[in-house]
Chains A and B, each alone.
Chain A
């Protein structure tokens, strides 16, 4: 036992492994240094505020996706879910008030997530490839439902009768609005604080509770976990429900930032960006390894990457290519890393 541990430690400190393990941090540092040299505007207060403001819907959905990928699954139903949740929540704003509507939205997120998980478990879709196709179909389904719900027309938030202070705060509020003591607080958006709160809750859940650790076992080896007495099926439904909740919050942040929310369009590309953030952060697609903190690094890298490319005035289509390349390389390195062990 002790021997094995020392052995692991020895292999761990090989330089190559170290670089592979903390590649995302190295990449972030390299990106920051290079951009700071090439483009002096990168290190200004205005840009700092800009970068902080980017911790928007994507950071929430990526947190939810972390658990799913850690459990050895995948979820492509984010666009449809975001669309449906956003449309229903917005339509309830004038009827039952702002905060109750958001509550309904979160409940809906949990319900849809549980539905996804239950379908997968009931039909025995325990591999990633099967989960991918089923959740893709569900995304189409939810998207179509949201279109039917609004009749295809977008919802304009400006036309609401009642004021919506919380939505306003999520869209452009900063901590400085509440605590105007330091000018520094003006640079921290309210959404970022909400993000930190959820990050802390999920981190404690993952590391300190039995259920949280069961997710790692389920993703590591589904059959072994089941034989070991872990309720793998319930865990699967649970991780999808957690993802549903985070997606609901992501949807709320997403429509807070857009004045006009159109069905389907509002959720476009969230699935791919979330998967990218999680994988780039270093959570293994093979399941069983990973952490929400790694996802934060992944999200930061993606935000910084687009910020840097915007500052350097790189063509937006070329940016798309770069993002795809980062994803492919990240998946490739992930497999190389875990093929060794």
Chain B
């Protein structure tokens, strides 16, 4: 007996250090990527390691981060949501249009966010109750909502002059040590903390992981799988709508073109962070890191373009790099799942 246990311990100890490091790094793809990008930035001529750069960076990334927090719920339940981009642009347009027609700001924002919840509810109905394939039905839903957004905004960006609505995202909140933070970042952090707590400390959040891991097992253990997955989609829709309000408030404008590539990029970012399509793995923090990687790539590449000779084509290089990153990360995720299956 004792010999046996020591043998096992011995085997665990002899697992080479390099392998252990690789294993940890493999789980933290996003952190590795961020480190690599930061090191690469050291060689660019602009110094991005300043507070103002960091602030601007978070400011730009905030709406996508909020969406990613919501999408995490859907991905953990082994689904995805490709309608978030259209939900985002639609909720922004709804908020602006309602304010323009005289509705109080508070009510308009509430209605805009509720619109996202309703769309999430419909998505949930189609996916959970009618058992349609999540990614394709939400893709269709996205097209439908894009049409609605175009129709109610008449295909033009709509803007408002309401100062209170503008203040939602554009107030500077003084914070000791780092000076100030734009309020959009504070809202983003708030949503992040709330979703984090829901996923981590409530039975609903635990159930999400359980049914993402194995739907059948979760059902047989007495979890209300239908209700849980349905709620997850409502949360996803709501977060996307919140992002829409924040974005519209930042620009004072609602437009149907805001969210065209967002859904696919956000879903990919969530996977980059380590929330796998196999379901049941991941979390809010990981998703946030995934989105940050994507944004750092874009931000970093545009920093490089300032000194580069071919400024005009550098934007295309950005798209190229983003395409390569998406393909390689998702392919790696698939490969890991395949290997895991073969091992078992």
Chain A interface (Cβ < 8 Å from any Cβ of B): 74, 119, 123-125, 128-130, 132-134, 136-145, 147-148, 151-152, 272, 275, 285-286, 315-325, 327-328, 331-332, 335-336, 339
Contact = CB atoms under 8 A, between A and B. Distances in A.
Give the residue among A119, A125, A286, A324 with the most B Cβ atoms within 10 A. A324
Contacts of B133: 128-129, 285-286, 331, 335
B338 A331 contact: no
Contact of A140 (B80, B134, B322): B322
Q: Tell me the dominant secondary structure on chain A's binding face.
A: helix
B338 A324 contact: no
B327 A134 contact: yes
Interface stretch (B52-60, B139-147, B176-184): B139-147
A128 B138 CA distance: 14
Contact of A336 (B130, B268, B330, B338): B130
Interface of B: 80, 126, 130-137, 139-148, 150-151, 154-155, 264, 267-268, 271, 277, 312-313, 316-320, 322-327, 330-335, 337-338
A328 B137 contact: yes
A152 B277 CA distance: 35
A128 to B, nearest CB: 7
Given A147-B316, A148-B317, A339-B131, A133 B140 contact: no
| Shortest Cβ-Cβ A-B pairs, 6 listed | A324-B144, A321-B147, A124-B338, A137-B326, A141-B323, A140-B323
Given A125-B334, A324-B143, A133 B313 contact: no
B147 A324 contact: yes
Given A140-B326, A144-B319, A317-B154, A123 B335 contact: yes
Given A137-B330, A152-B316, A335-B133, A272 B139 contact: yes
B103 to A, nearest CB: 23
B268 to A, nearest CB: 6
Contacts of A331: 132-133, 136-137, 140
B228 to A, nearest CB: 20
Contacts of B134: 129
A128 B277 CA distance: 11
Contacts of A124: 334-335, 337-338
B298 to A, nearest CB: 12
B263 to A, nearest CB: 10
B334 A141 contact: no
Nearest to B148: A321
Which of A124, A140, A148, A336 gathers the greatest number of chain B CB atoms within 10 Å?
A140
Nearest to B142: A324
B319 A147 contact: yes
